[in-house]
Amino acid sequence: MTADQIIFLLCAALIIVSALMVVTTRKLIHAALWLVAALFGVAILYVILQAGFLAVVQVVVYIGAIAILFIFAVMLTRREMLDKGAQTRSNWWLPALLGLLILAGLIFLIIGQPAFGRTAAAMPEGVDTLRNLGTALVSPDAFVLPFEVASILLLAALVGAVYVASGNKE
Amino acid sequence: MMFLNDPINFIAGWMRDLLTGWGLSNGLTTVIIYFIGITVLIVFAMVLDILLVWVERKVVARFQDRIGPNRIGPFGLIQPFADIIKLIIKEDITPAGADKLLFNLGPVLAIASVIILWAILPLSSKIFGVDLNVAVLYLVAAGALGTLSIIVGGWASNNKYALLGAFRMVANMISYEIPMVVVLLIPTILADSMSVQKITQAQSGIWFAILSPLALIIFLISAIAELGRSPFDLNEAESEIVAGFHIEYSGMKFGLFYAGELLHAFTFGGFMAVLFFGGYGGFFGLEKIGFFSWLNNPFVQAVVFLAKAMFGYWVIMWIKYSMPRIRIDHMLAFNWKFLTPLALVVLVNTAVLSKVLAGLPNWGYVLGMFFSNIVIGFITVEILRAYGRKQRKAEAKLSPQSAQNQEQAA
């Protein structure tokens, strides 16, 4: 086993264990922090795949913004959200079964791929993935349209948020 | 001479020869060498941290017209060790009702969020952790972990003051992250790269502090806010919430928060040096002249870098010990209504001018950048002045005293 494989296995174990803990732990704030751990594991996966930019953006956006807002919302609730009673829904096995089925289907599909089991080719020297990504996002024959549509959508959300927050001054 | 020109690779090569000579496999050798390298870097940062405690206490004493620690050792240099011994032998208290795991995780995350920044800090052209091509964003990502440490510590303490401190810190950090991200794009545009090594090399002729002084000022302000130091120390405001998020921590756990803050301030001084003052280089082309070629030596570069970082740290301390604490609504209004729009204007200005002025000779480019910043700064000050005058007039009209004066005049 190479060092890369060991790191991958450790990181995969981290993701799976933390993802399980997110849905099984009874303290809401612990669930949010386990989510942070799972997201961090995904960032490590990106690093292993030599996608440094994605890894850093994963940490900035998902941990730095989204997870912190989750935790912030949970913090406002203090201890009342601690779940002590018995489970009210007894059909938890249905989504579990569904999840396992999806997992089996995904594994089946991936094994069928011709690239399965091959080691990734090393990144050629001197390729600046960040620059390529940046150019692709603004070049007309690549992703400029979805990129601009997304920015307009975000702008609309921003304007809406400002309107809601400012209150109806009549 | 190999050691003097490229110390890290020299030692790594020597160790690789030694370990493979002992019969270890190549892969295992790499892992061991990386592990040792990381440990040495962390130990260097932590030992520096001990020194920073002394520097901080001496400098604050000077600002407050005192002498500072001077009893233990020459100039009180042994004082930090006495402090550490005191912190270690203090009783370690975990409050009842605290979330034990998270309570212990808080200080660890606090110091870790600083230490991981040292991975990208370029001490010299040959002494650095890694040269990431997204280093500037990495700086922001590490800040997210710092926020997390304060939330976790504040929440787990099961204390109202700690929770209030954590709330304030989150509001502070999430807001000031935005001007910081925007302003970090300016060195990126000027150097055409996010790698700290390339940003440093791009400043060998002229510092970015001269090309964009406004960006430097905005970065300094948002860095201080990110650090949670005065005037943005709402998270530990002693007069309001006792000690804020670390109120329940005692002994070395408090020590970790304290050490993390000091090292964080110094590290941001280092990033200020890298992004705006030429980092380990930036001698205005002096190092290319044969007589001054010793400036290219990695050890000389490291000393230059640490001196510049120390200067940045001193500026942060200077502001901390001479400014009163800002009120929370002022803090948010200052960020959203002033700092963020200004940062966006400076960013657009830099982006447009860097393309418009690209054809000009070097001096034209520098002058154009510099004066565009001066013009923006002047307009900003004028707008602030007009706004301030309007507000003062409105207040004068409202106050009972002025009404009285008017009555008397009538």
A61-98 pLDDT, tens per residue?
888 888 888 887 877 776 555 656 666 677 878 888 99
Supply B8's token pair: 């890290």
Q: What is the pLDDT of residue B404?
A: 67
Residue A167 C-alpha, separation from nearest chain B C-alpha, in angstroms: 17
A57, B194: Cβ pair inside 8 Å?
no
Per-residue pLDDT at A151 exceeds 80? yes
Residue of B nearest to A61 (CA): B141
- Please tell me whether residues A6 and A69 are part of one structural domain: yes
The yes/no answer to whether this complex scores an ipTM above 0.85 is: no
Domain count, chain A: 2
Q: Does B360 touch chain A (CB under 8 A)?
A: no
Q: Interior CA angle at A27 toward A10 and B253, to 5°?
A: 70
pLDDT digits (tens, 9 = 90+) for A110-148: 888 887 777 777 777 777 777 888 888 888 888 889 989
Q: What is the pLDDT of residue A169?
A: 60
Q: What is the mean pLDDT of residues A143-161?
A: 91
Residue A105's pLDDT band, with cuts at 50, 70 and 90, is very high
A29, B99: Cβ pair inside 8 Å?
yes
Beta carbons within 10 angstroms of residue A115's beta carbon: 7
DSSP-derived 3-state class of residue B187: helix
Q: Give dist(CA A133, CA B353) in Å, integer.
A: 24
pTM for this one? 0.85
- Please tell me whether residues A75 and A151 are part of one structural domain: no
Residue A149's pLDDT band, with cuts at 50, 70 and 90, is very high
State the DSSP code for B236.
Answer: G
User: Residue A1: which CATH number?
Assistant: 1.20.120.1200
Residue B367 C-alpha, separation from nearest chain A C-alpha, in angstroms: 29
- Please tell me whether residues A74 and A1 are part of one structural domain: yes
Q: What is the pLDDT of residue B403?
A: 62
Per-residue pLDDT at A42 exceeds 80? yes
Per-residue pLDDT at A170 exceeds 60? no
Q: What is the pLDDT of residue B400?
A: 67
Q: Tell me the residue range of the domain where A167 lies.
A: 132-170
Q: What is the pLDDT of residue A104?
A: 94
Name residues 3-42 of chain A within 8 A of B (Cβ).
Answer: 3, 27, 29-30, 33, 36
* A5 lies in some domain: yes
* A97 lies in some domain: no
* A93 lies in some domain: no
Q: Does B134 touch chain A (CB under 8 A)?
A: yes
The partner residue sitting opposite A63, judged by closest CB among B27, B31, B144, is B144
- Please tell me whether residues A3 and A67 are part of one structural domain: yes
The partner residue sitting opposite B138, judged by closest CB among A29, A36, A56, is A56
Q: Does B167 touch chain A (CB under 8 A)?
A: yes
- Please tell me whether residues A136 and A75 are part of one structural domain: no
Spell out the residues 6+ positions from residue A20 whose beta carbon is closer than 8 angstroms to its own. none
Say if residues B257 and B110 touch (Cβ distance below 8 Å).
yes
B contacts of A59 (beta carbons < 8 Å): 141, 144-145
Give the closest residue to B99 by CA, choosing from A32, A97, A102.
A32
- Please tell me whether residues A5 and A77 are part of one structural domain: yes
Give the closest residue to B350 by CA, choosing from B368, B329, B338.
B368
Per-residue pLDDT at A4 exceeds 90? no
Q: Give dist(CA A47, CA B132) in Å, integer.
A: 11
- Please tell me whether residues A72 and A138 are part of one structural domain: no
Q: Does A130 touch chain B (CB under 8 A)?
A: yes
Amino acid at B347: L
Q: How buried is B162 (Cβ within 10 angstroms: 0-12 exposed, 13-18 middle, 19+ buried)?
A: buried
* Ranges assigned E (strand) in B81-141: none
- Please tell me whether residues A76 and A136 are part of one structural domain: no
* A87 lies in some domain: no
- Please tell me whether residues A70 and A138 are part of one structural domain: no
Q: Give dist(CA B165, CA B145) in Å, integer.
A: 17
Which segments in chain B show pLDDT lower than 50?
A: none
Q: What is the pLDDT of residue A18?
A: 92
Q: Give dist(CA B189, CA B348) in Å, integer.
A: 10
